[in-house]
């Protein structure tokens, strides 16, 4: 049975990382168009504000001033997610 310990441990860490990825890393209300992940500068034109919620996996959920919800960023997956989880825990 001990030959499976490494696989079981890796799966356990993977499940924890997937749960961790859903956690909130930061919340930022702003009217900037210069955020590193921002590919929608039109959302903050003319002084409009947005609320960006960044998750541990790198994805960002943006709520615009007219309550439109847009997903930004590239969520981490696989080994990249595991590495980020291990680095932060």
Q: Which two tokens stand for residue 44?
A: 């903050």
Query: Are 64 and 70 contacting, i.e. CB atoms less than 8 angstroms apart?
Result: yes
Report the predicted TM-score, pTM, of the whole model to 2 decimal places: 0.86
Instruction: Give me the residue label for tokens 């709520």.
Output: 63
How far is the C-alpha of 24 from the C-alpha of 13, rounded, in Å? 19
Overall number of domains in the chain: 1
Range of the domain at 64: 2-88
Q: What is the mean pLDDT of each run of 10 residues along the chain (89 residues)?
A: 83 95 97 90 94 97 96 94 94
């Amino acid at each position: 049975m001990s030959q499976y310990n490494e696989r079981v441990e890796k799966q356990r860490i993977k499940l924890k990382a997937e749960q961790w990825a859903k956690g909130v890393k930061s919340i930022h209300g702003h009217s900037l168009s210069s955020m590193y992940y921002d590919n929608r500068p039109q959302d903050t034109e003319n002084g409009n504000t947005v609320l960006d919620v960044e998750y541990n996996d790198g994805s960002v959920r943006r709520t615009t001033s007219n309550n439109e919800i847009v997903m930004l960023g590239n969520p981490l997956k696989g080994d990249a997610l595991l590495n980020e989880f291990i680095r932060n825990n």
